[in-house]
Amino acid sequence: MSIFVCPVCGERLEISGNSYICPKRHSFDKAKSGYVNLLLSKHMGKTVHGDNKLMVQARRRFLDKGYYKPLCDALCDAVAENLEGGAIIDAGCGEGYYTSAIIDRLKSQDIAAKVCGIDISKAAVEYCAKRCREAELAVASVFHIPAADSSCDMLVTLFAPYCGEEFRRVLKKDGVMIMAIPSADHLWELKQAVYDTPYRNEVKPYELEGFTFVSAKRVTYTMELGSSEDITALFSMTPYYYRTGREQQERLAELQQLTTKADFELLVYRNN
């Protein structure tokens, strides 16, 4: 039995051969790499659906070099400390860097859990499926998670769009949500190099409707980026990438090396 439900009727999906099938006979074929596409056209929106293949490849190369490993380690610590077992969903799993690390940590500590991931980018889920053979993965929107009400013990969301109502719906009562957000000084030196008037990130109050705030951990360290490729890949992972003008893009392209701060907030909540 899959944790996923049919995006058409909401019935539980079962895996039959290479297909996911619900009791009403809606069927969704698995890709060769193992994921399933549960993204309905009405949930797609009018824009490009998530990161494209080139962006996913750049992010994968960047993350695999270990630049965000301190954050990944802190995330895995939080997962292991707050999960005794059950089902965990990575809402916005991307290419699977964090998903894979979570699986490895749970196995190393003998925590029995079913790990699932969704992302709106088909290219990202394709890479995630190749990296995370033990996870159940689907192309889907975090605003329409193909999971039943109260079916997950934990939800992880890292830099993905926040949809509190949907996150609360799929989490069990007292289920745990772990969220990573950029803190005030994240990439400050990079922004100084690109923009005439850089500004620090606004960190909003931790309280979220429907959740009880449990803890916050600030993860701060210095990154040494040694190539233009890595600097561009890092910048493309931020919201600034989409609203940066030509002059700033040219400044970015000229950077060959950079020392900049990584500054994150890792937040833990319980579903009320």
pLDDT score, position 21: 96
Q: How would DSSP label each residue in 29-79? A: EBPTTS-EE---GGGS-SS--S--HHHHHHHHHHHHTTTTHHHHHHHHHHH
Q: What is the pLDDT of residues 25-34, one digit of tens each?
A: 999 999 999 9
Asked, for residue 17, whether it belongs to a domain, the answer is no
pLDDT score, position 50: 64
Asked, for residue 16, whether it belongs to a domain, the answer is no
Cβ distance 99 to 90 under 8 Å?
yes
Number of domains in the chain: 1
pLDDT score, position 138: 97
If residue 11 lies in a helix (H) or strand (E), which one and from where to where? none
Domain range enclosing 44: 35-271
CATH code (residue 263) = 3.40.50.150
Asked, for residue 21, whether it belongs to a domain, the answer is no
Asked, for residue 138, whether it belongs to a domain, the answer is yes
Asked, for residue 15, whether it belongs to a domain, the answer is no
Q: What residues in the chain have per-residue pLDDT under 50? A: 46, 48
Asked, for residue 8, whether it belongs to a domain, the answer is no
pLDDT score, position 45: 57
Q: Residue 48: CB partners within 8 Å, gap ≥ 6?
A: none
CA nearest neighbour of 43 among 182, 127, 144: 144
Residue 16 CB coordination number (10 Å) = 9
Asked, for residue 4, whether it belongs to a domain, the answer is no
Cβ distance 88 to 116 under 8 Å?
yes
Asked, for residue 39, whether it belongs to a domain, the answer is yes
